[in-house]
Chains A and B, each alone.
Chain A
């Protein structure tokens, strides 16, 4: 199946710092989605991207749909403790594929 690789695998940052993570695929996607998952809970949709090159914001979060349609980036500005969690990229193909995840720890 299609593989979505995320980097970095984990991040430890100070509160207030900006965060950047990315997701790459060997295949093109027509939709990129970013989810956040807290321990023991279901993924929560953060941002949806539908067009190559699109840049979309949701509060302190900004995501971009790569022009090649094989990658996407998520940035979080001025991180706060509640940003802690695992961030997954995802995209629909024949199935629905999730990335390997980026674990974010914010140190107050």
Chain B
């Protein structure tokens, strides 16, 4: 069964460093998403991406964040200058259409020290 994959599973970085989180969405899906989940809290929407551009973003997705689909299979989230409060699980998801069910990857645990 097709699934969303994410790498790395765990990333430790120092405050102020840049990180890139990688995702491979399900191959026939057209919509891609990033979410954040701080430990013990609910999943929070960051951004949706369609047709090589951002379609929606939340107030969390500020100028330190960017997304890219560098090739036909990968979807990346870049955090330019990490802060302690960026420590969280980051999930990638994809869907066939905007109002269809989304399928989530296993997540990347980001720890900023």
A interface, CB within 8 angstroms of B: 1, 30-31, 33, 35, 37, 40-45, 48, 88, 90, 92, 94-101
Q: Can you list 14 A-B pairs, Cβ within 8 angstroms, ordered by A? A: A31-B99, A35-B104, A41-B106, A43-B104, A44-B104, A45-B102, A90-B43, A90-B102, A92-B99, A95-B45, A97-B45, A98-B42, A98-B44, A98-B45
Cα A42 to Cα B92 with chains together (Å): 9
Q: Which residues B32-69 have CB closer than 8 A to chain A?
A: 33, 35, 42-45, 48, 56, 58
Task: Kindly supply a per-residue 1/0 record for chain B positions 11-45, scoring 1 wherever the CB is within 8 Å of any chain A CB and 0 otherwise.
Answer: 00000000000000000000001010000001111
Q: Taking the complex as formed, is B98 at the interface, i.e. its CB lies under 8 A from any CB of chain A?
A: yes
Are B58 and A1 in contact (CB-based, < 8 A)? Answer: yes
Count B-side interface residues using an 8 Å CB cutoff. 23
* Residue from A33, A41, A92 having most chain B Cβ neighbours under 10 A: A92
